[in-house]
């Protein structure tokens, strides 16, 4: 199992990637043997976190070395947001062609131009405010991404002000299903194949209520033409995985709601193929969201126990108490 000291210093700063209207930071990681036309994964940290800290906890650079993945880590400045979160709820930072989304798009463009990246295999994931910004990027730049994974996040444009954001995080109000669909369709002029969606949330999350996970699924169901109940429910590493497949059988949406887990990224640091380091908002629950997300995207072979349709009994739970259970959301900060 890697420790945080094993992973420190693995990211390289990226400079001069465009006009950077969102005034964001950027770091990258490339394995020593990055293949030509290899994939790129964009990883967004949560509030109070840094790119380096999130990489250490989630294990993305370790997996990148195993599987030949390029990584890009956008980072927030405290001068932009008091607790270092992405401003997913601000109007200027939730639209195509401006603010933080354009900064992230410019970073991606620089990495693609400088390295042999397969433009059809660009993916994005994030936790909390980074998860909500992942929703923003998938809605505003669906032409860029093949898939996205939203961890403890919120639907695109579910809030337009800080006060609305705090209310939505607690699970109150929000757009109707019809409005959720229209918000994504109105965010760009895209008419092609939409990104696949992976959603992860703890059912004991008191910072971002898990009802937001279900709203994210509903926001993308009609987009993908998979309205209604999941195509199947299976057990993966002791947890239920809900899957929606399009008519041809391709999986387009998956949802994991982790029993008894608080606010954070699910990890499995123990064992021979352990990944990540447990800590604040990096929750040891026995399933690696990093490894499973990469598998959903076809970037690595899936591993672990999978069974048929699951019930409520016998499923493992995570932690929901202590400092791991939530990011502070009421200290006068600019946003989650």
Each residue's pLDDT tens digit, 64-92: 999 999 999 999 999 999 999 999 999 99
- β-partners of residue 257 are 201
- Angle at 190 (CA atoms; ends 125, 148), nearest 5 degrees: 10
The model's pLDDT over 208-227, given as tens digits with 9 standing for 90+, comes to 999 999 999 999 999 999 99
- Tell me the mean pLDDT in the region 165-174: 97
Asked if residue 250 has pLDDT above 60, the reply is: yes
Domain ranges of the chain: 4-325
The span from the CA of 60 to the CA of 70, in Å, is 10
The CB density around residue 158, as the number of other CB atoms within 10 Å, is: 27
The three-state secondary structure class of 326 is coil
Is the pLDDT score of 4 beyond 60? no
Confidence of residue 316 (pLDDT cuts 50, 70, 90): very low
Mean pLDDT of 256-260: 98
pLDDT of 336 higher than 70: no
Average of pLDDT values for 310-326? Answer: 37
Give yes or no for a contact between 13 and 245, defined as CB atoms under 8 angstroms apart: no
Q: Tell whether the model's pLDDT for residue 18 goes beyond 60.
A: yes
**Which of the pair, 45 or 318, is modelled with greater confidence?**
45
325 vs 233, more confident:
233
Is 50 exceeded by the pLDDT of residue 313? no
Region 228-239: mean pLDDT is: 98
- What pLDDT, on a 0 to 100 scale, did the predictor assign at position 2? 45
The pLDDT confidence band at residue 266, using thresholds 50, 70 and 90, is: very high
Q: What confidence category does residue 314 fall into, taking pLDDT thresholds of 50, 70 and 90?
A: very low
Mean pLDDT of the 4-15 span: 73
Q: How confident is the model at residue 151 (pLDDT cuts 50, 70, 90)?
A: very high
Percent of the chain surpassing pLDDT 90: 84
Work out the burial of residue 247: count CB atoms within 10 Å of its CB; fewer than 13 is exposed, 13-18 middle, 19 or more buried: exposed
Strands (E), the chain: 12-13, 25-29, 38-44, 70-75, 117-127, 147-151, 196-202, 232-236, 239-245, 251-258, 265-267, 282-284, 306-307
How many other CB atoms are there within 10 angstroms of residue 246's CB atom? 15
Active site residue 4: no
Strand ranges (E), 107-231: 117-127, 147-151, 196-202
Compute the CA torsion angle 155, 157, 158, 161 (nearest 10 deg): 140
Q: Residue 74 contacts by C-beta under 8 Å, 6 or more apart in sequence? A: 24, 25, 26, 42, 44, 51, 86, 100, 103, 104, 107
Res 331: pLDDT: 25
Asked whether the predicted pLDDT for residue 267 surpasses 70, the reply is yes
Average pLDDT, the chain: 90
Contacts of 113 (CB under 8 A, 6+ apart): none
User: At residue 129, what are phi and psi to the nearest 5 degrees?
Assistant: -60, -30
Token readout for 64 is 């990148």
Give the N- to C-terminal CA distance of the chain in Å, as an integer: 31
The residue behind tokens 């390029």 is: 70
Q: What is the largest CA-CA distance in the chain?
A: 52
pLDDT > 70? residue 312: no
Given a contact cutoff of 8 angstroms between Cβ atoms, the answer to whether 323 and 283 are in contact is no
Q: Is the pLDDT of residue 14 over 70?
A: yes
Read off the pLDDT band of 8 (50, 70, 90): low
Candidate list 128, 129, 210, 325, residue with the active-site label: 128
Fold of 4-325: Rossmann fold (3.40.50)
- CA–CA gap between residue 289 and residue 286 (Å, rounded): 10
């Amino acid at each position: 199992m890697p420790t945080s000291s094993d992973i420190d210093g693995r990211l390289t700063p990226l400079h001069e990637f465009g006009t950077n209207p969102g005034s964001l930071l950027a770091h990258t990681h490339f394995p020593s043997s990055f293949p030509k036309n290899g994939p790129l994964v964009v990883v967004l940290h949560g509030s109070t976190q840094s790119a380096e800290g999130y990489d250490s906890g989630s294990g993305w650079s370790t997996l990148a070395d195993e599987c030949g993945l390029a990584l890009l880590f956008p980072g927030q400045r405290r001068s932009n947001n008091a607790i270092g979160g992405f401003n997913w709820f601000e109007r200027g930072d939730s639209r195509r062609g401006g603010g933080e989304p354009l900064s992230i798009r410019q970073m991606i463009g620089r990495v693609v131009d400088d390295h042999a990246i397969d433009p059809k295999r660009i993916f994005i994931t994030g936790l909390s405010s980074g998860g909500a910004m992942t929703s923003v990027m998938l809605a505003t730049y669906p032409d860029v991404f093949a898939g996205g994974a939203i961890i403890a996040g919120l639907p695109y444009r579910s809030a337009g002000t800080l006060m609305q954001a705090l209310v939505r995080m607690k699970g109150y109000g929000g757009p109707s299903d019809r409005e959720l669909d229209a918000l994504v369709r109105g965010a760009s002029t895209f008419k092609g194949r939409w990104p696949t969606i992976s959603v992860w949330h703890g059912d004991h999350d008191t910072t971002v209520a898990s009802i937001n996970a279900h709203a994210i699924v509903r926001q993308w169901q009609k987009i993908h033409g998979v309205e209604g109940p999941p195509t199947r429910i299976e057990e993966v590493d002791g947890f239920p995985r809900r899957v929606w497949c399009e008519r041809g059988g391709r999986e387009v949406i998956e949802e994991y709601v982790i029993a008894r887990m608080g606010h954070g990224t699910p990890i499995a640091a123990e064992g021979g193929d352990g990944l990540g380091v447990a800590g604040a908002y990096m929750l040891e629950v026995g399933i690696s969201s990093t490894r499973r997300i990469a598998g959903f995207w076809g970037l690595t072979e899936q591993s672990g126990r999978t069974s048929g349709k699951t019930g409520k009994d016998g499923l493992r739970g995570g932690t929901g108490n202590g400092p791991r259970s939530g990011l502070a959301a009421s200290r006068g900060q600019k946003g989650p």
